[in-house]
């Protein structure tokens, strides 16, 4: 499989990771693990099926089978198992990660997540996305304002901005929230203007996080589980679609 599954996680606003290359490597390893587990599952379910017409059993779950082949039931069972059993496991895993957030981590009110957000998208693009109904962009642009220049962001956060720029493979735009007080308090904390994305921060261990952020212990501990869950989800979507295609081609 040649698709670069890692790509999609780094394109969200504020989605740049602390150390992209390490995480990409970790993701690839866990992707292989998730893949092997699914292949084992396919093999296990294979034993439940047979075909009176096939001289040799179907070997690949993606095979285009002959009409009324007994192994189509295998393909269907795999789709259902991916959707229900594995899907449920992924959800449970993501719920555990979320539940651990305020156990393993806490906000130390450093204010960095409010003062330095980054995105591959310019303010104009984000506004456009917001107008087109993009939930994140709507929330983000409802409070965040762009820095006048990357240099202005760099002057305030030299280390982080340099790191982000070094690791980005395209343009990066920096933003800050004007509702942060000088003592790092949110001045719209109990106000309906405060977006849900702020309440949810950090939404996933995959996002960019200041190295002294109080959620770092959570991020570090939950990273492998998160990557494994995302890899499994990507693989389930891939296989479900490909098996459906094979089933359709057989009919």
- The DSSP-derived string for 50-117 is --SS-SS----TT--PPTT-TTHHHHHHHHHHIIIIIHHHHHHHHHHHHHHHHHH-------HHHH-E
Q: Looking at 66-74, 156-164, 182-190, 216-224, which segment touches Zn ion (CB under 5 A)?
A: 66-74
Contacts 24+ apart (CB under 8 A), 135-142: 136/12, 136/13, 136/197, 137/13, 139/195, 139/196, 139/197, 140/13, 140/14, 140/175, 140/195, 140/197, 142/193, 142/195
Q: Which of 54, 152, 199, 244: binder of Zn ion (CB under 5 A)?
A: 54
Q: Which is nearer to Zn ion, 28 or 46 (CB)?
A: 46
69 binds Zn ion (CB under 5 A): yes
Nearest distance from residue 17's CB to Zn ion, in Å? 46
> Given CA atoms 101, 105, 106, 111 in this order, what sign does their dihedral have?
negative
Give the Cα separation of 24 and 99 in Å (integer).
Answer: 25
Nearest distance from residue 11's CB to Zn ion, in Å? 42
51 binds Zn ion (CB under 5 A): yes
Q: Which is nearer to Zn ion, 53 or 184 (CB)?
A: 53
Q: What is the dihedral of CA 151, 152, 158, 162, to 10 degrees?
A: -40
Nearest distance from residue 241's CB to Zn ion, in Å? 22
Q: Which is nearer to Zn ion, 51 or 143 (CB)?
A: 51
Q: Which is nearer to Zn ion, 55 or 183 (CB)?
A: 55
Q: Looking at 44-52, 73-81, 130-138, 222-230, which segment touches Zn ion (CB under 5 A)?
A: 44-52
Do 214 and 65 contact (CB within 8 A), yes or no?
A: no
Nearest distance from residue 65's CB to Zn ion, in Å? 6
Do 176 and 145 contact (CB within 8 A), yes or no?
A: yes
Q: Which is nearer to Zn ion, 51 or 137 (CB)?
A: 51
53 binds Zn ion (CB under 5 A): yes
Nearest distance from residue 14's CB to Zn ion, in Å? 50
Q: Which of residues 174-193 bind Zn ion (CB under 5 A)?
A: none
Q: Looking at 33-41, 67-75, 97-105, 114-122, which segment touches Zn ion (CB under 5 A)?
A: 67-75
Which residues would be at the binding site for Zn ion (CB under 5 A)? 51, 53-54, 69
């Amino acid at each position: 499989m040649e698709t670069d599954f890692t790509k999609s996680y780094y394109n969200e606003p504020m989605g740049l990771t602390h150390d992209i290359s390490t995480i990409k490597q970790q993701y690839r390893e866990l992707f292989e693990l998730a893949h092997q587990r699914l292949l084992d599952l396919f093999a296990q379910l294979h034993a439940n099926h047979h075909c009176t017409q096939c001289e040799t059993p179907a070997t690949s779950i993606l095979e285009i089978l002959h009409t009324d082949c007994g192994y189509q039931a295998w393909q269907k069972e795999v789709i259902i198992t991916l959707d229900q059993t594995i899907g449920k496991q992924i959800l449970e895993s993501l719920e555990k990660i979320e539940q651990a957030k305020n156990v393993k981590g806490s906000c130390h009110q450093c204010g960095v997540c409010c003062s330095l957000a980054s995105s591959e998208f310019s303010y104009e693009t984000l506004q456009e996305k917001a107008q087109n109904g993009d939930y994140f962009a709507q929330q983000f642009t409802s409070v965040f304002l762009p820095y006048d220049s990357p240099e202005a962001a760099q002057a305030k956060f030299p280390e982080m901005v340099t790191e982000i720029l070094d690791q980005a493979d395209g343009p990066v735009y920096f933003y800050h929230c004007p509702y942060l007080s000088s003592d790092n308090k949110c001045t719209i904390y109990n106000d309906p203007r405060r977006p849900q994305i702020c309440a949810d921060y950090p939404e996933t261990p995959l996002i960019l996080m200041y190295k002294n952020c109080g959620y770092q212990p959570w991020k570090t501990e939950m990273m492998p589980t998160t990557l494994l869950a995302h890899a499994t989800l990507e693989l389930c979507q891939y296989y479900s679609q490909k098996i459906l295609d094979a089933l359709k081609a057989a009919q």
